[in-house]
């Protein structure tokens, strides 16, 4: 029995090279397509050419095999099967990977943010280390947004929901590894806020009834996680974050007596700076506190940058006078003005004068009236201070107005948006920093 003839070594190498042409070309195309995302500008055109060249080589391989099979009267299907299968597999890989490729490309271009699973965990660990000597525990609760609950509402330039959720899971895991209790409140939102009609038209806030139910459910869940005030309500707890943290605190304290020592701390502007307010108003948020719950929405939890925590505020004009106050007089913008863009205001900046009653303070007697001013309009935009209404409670740090004006003389010429005190001899302070008491 004769053995099948083997091609000579030179011919065998040629056949092997011919068989590997299509796979090698496919790998070259895939590799160049992937590298194109991270490549510097100088390499992008060479990589684009390599990508197209790989596809051309695959097409040439199919054509050459087809031509050869026709000349030898062999099966054309069998002849072109290897490069054709390679081409199909390459196409499937490119199609299936296109969403990920588009996302990474948009992130490289800066059109979509790149999430981080370490930034929030590192900042929380820094805060936990600052709170520990005071006997205060830190915990983190992740809050989904409207766009997470209803992904169809996400804009084209937003981070896709699956990518954001992966980053949230990674961040929570990093927090737990750092010894910080971390939980995701999404199951509670799905139970109490999974209908778009429960949200305000701005899709950033819940209506009062679902917010009340959600606040109660969250309080019950926190107690199950041993992050509550205790059975006797003795532990003082602070909810810290954006407006959700303040609303949760107000509603929980109102409807659940055991949370009577609960405080809410909402950032005015940059949510990532909310931790600074703990140290700006220590008598309200640090003294006697046993637990701080940092409530972060998914986008903030997966943010790629957090500013350093200012645990020692620099008030170089001297020691501030601190107080908790109830506002007596404010600007009182009407609803139409608050909702409109105040671009027609005749001045870029404006100061508001506020009168307030001292509730408690180490520097003023309770019941005294104090007067202070601060910016209500900046760059023709009404600021948070300008929206303060009579009856609101604030925690304030006040500085002597004359000392402040000595350093910032322009303040003396900025327009005042309402009248000052009737008593011309009354002392007026500069509002250095403030927050709502929630």
Q: Which residue has the higher pLDDT, 162 or 176?
A: 176
Q: What DSSP string runs through 210-257?
A: HHHHHHHHHHHHHHHTT-SS-TTS-SEEEEEESHHHHHHHHHHHHH-G
Helices (H), 39-145: 41-71, 76-109, 119-131
| pLDDT, mean over the chain | 79
Q: For residue 110, what is the DSSP state?
A: T
Number of Cβ within a 10 Å radius of residue 339: 8
Angle (CA) 430 284 398, round 5°: 10
Residue reference for tokens 């209404």: 389
Please say if the pLDDT value at position 86 is more than 60: yes
Per the CB < 8 A criterion, the answer to whether 316 and 382 are in contact is no
Write the pLDDT tens digit of every residue in 324-349. 999 988 776 555 544 544 444 556 77
Output the six-digit token pair for 182: 């971390």
Please say if the pLDDT value at position 79 is more than 70: no
Residue reference for tokens 């391989």: 61
Half-sphere exposure of 185 (CA within 13 A, CB side): 29
Output the six-digit token pair for 115: 């999430």
Domain range summary for the chain, segments of one domain joined by +: 12-109, 119-301, 321-436
The helix (H) or strand (E) run that includes residue 407 is helix 401-407
With CA atoms as reference, report the closest residue to 134 among 286, 321, 258.
286
Write the pLDDT tens digit of every residue in 359-380. 999 999 999 999 998 888 777 7
Residue 251 has φ and ψ, to the nearest 5°, of -70, -40
pLDDT (average), residues 141-151: 94
Please say if the pLDDT value at position 210 is more than 90: yes
Where residue 200 falls among pLDDT bands split at 50, 70, 90? confident
The helix (H) or strand (E) run that includes residue 142 is strand 137-143
pLDDT of residue 401: 80
Residue reference for tokens 């007697």: 365
Q: Which residue has the higher pLDDT, 390 or 24?
A: 390
Q: Which residue has the higher pLDDT, 160 or 229?
A: 229
Rounded to an integer, what is the distance from CA 166 to the centroid of its chain?
14
pTM: 0.65
pLDDT (average), residues 294-320: 82
Half-sphere exposure of 131 (CA within 13 A, CB side): 29
């Amino acid at each position: 029995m004769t053995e099948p003839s083997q091609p000579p070594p030179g011919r065998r190498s040629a056949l092997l090279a011919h068989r590997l042409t299509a796979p090698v070309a496919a790998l070259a195309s895939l590799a160049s397509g992937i590298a194109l995302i991270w490549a510097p500008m100088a390499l992008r055109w060479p990589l684009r050419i390599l990508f197209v060249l790989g596809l051309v080589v695959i097409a040439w391989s199919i054509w050459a095999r087809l031509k050869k099979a026709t000349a030898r009267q062999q099966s054309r299907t069998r002849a072109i099967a290897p490069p054709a299968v390679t081409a199909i597999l390459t196409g499937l890989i490119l199609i299936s990977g296109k969403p990920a490729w588009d996302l990474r490309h948009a992130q490289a271009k800066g059109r979509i943010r790149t999430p981080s699973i370490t930034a929030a965990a590192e900042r929380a660990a820094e805060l936990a280390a600052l709170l520990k000597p005071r006997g205060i525990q830190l915990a983190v609760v992740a809050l989904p947004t409207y766009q997470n609950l209803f992904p169809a509402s996400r804009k084209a330039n937003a981070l896709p929901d699956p990518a954001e959720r992966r980053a949230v899971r990674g961040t929570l895991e990093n927090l737990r590894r750092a010894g910080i209790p971390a939980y995701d409140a999404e199951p509670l939102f799905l139970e109490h806020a999974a209908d778009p009609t429960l949200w305000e038209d701005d899709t950033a806030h819940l209506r009062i009834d679902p917010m009340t139910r959600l606040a109660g459910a969250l309080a019950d869940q926190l107690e199950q996680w041993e992050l509550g005030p205790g059975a006797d309500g003795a532990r003082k707890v602070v909810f810290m974050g954006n407006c959700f943290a303040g609303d949760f605190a107000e509603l929980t304290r109102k409807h659940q007596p055991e949370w009577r020592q609960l405080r809410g701390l909402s950032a005015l502007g940059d949510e990532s700076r909310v931790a600074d307010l703990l140290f700006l108003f220590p008598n309200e948020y640090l003294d006697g506190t046993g637990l701080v719950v940092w409530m972060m929405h998914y986008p903030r939890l997966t943010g790629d940058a957090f500013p350093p925590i200012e645990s020692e505020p620099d008030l170089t004009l001297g020691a501030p006078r601190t107080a908790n106050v109830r506002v007596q007089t404010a600007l009182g913008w009407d609803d139409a003005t608050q909702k409109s863009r105040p671009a027609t205001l005749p001045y870029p900046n404006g100061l508001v004068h506020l009168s307030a009653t001292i509730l408690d303070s180490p520097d003023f007697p309770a019941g005294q009236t104090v007067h202070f001013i601060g910016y209500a309009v900046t760059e023709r935009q009404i600021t948070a201070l300008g929206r303060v209404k009579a009856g609101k409670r604030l925690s304030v740090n006040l500085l002597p107005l004359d000392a402040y004006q000595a350093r910032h003389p322009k303040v003396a010429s900025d327009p005042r948006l309402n009248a000052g005190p009737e008593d011309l001899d009354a002392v007026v302070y500069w509002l250095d920093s403030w927050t709502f008491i929630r």
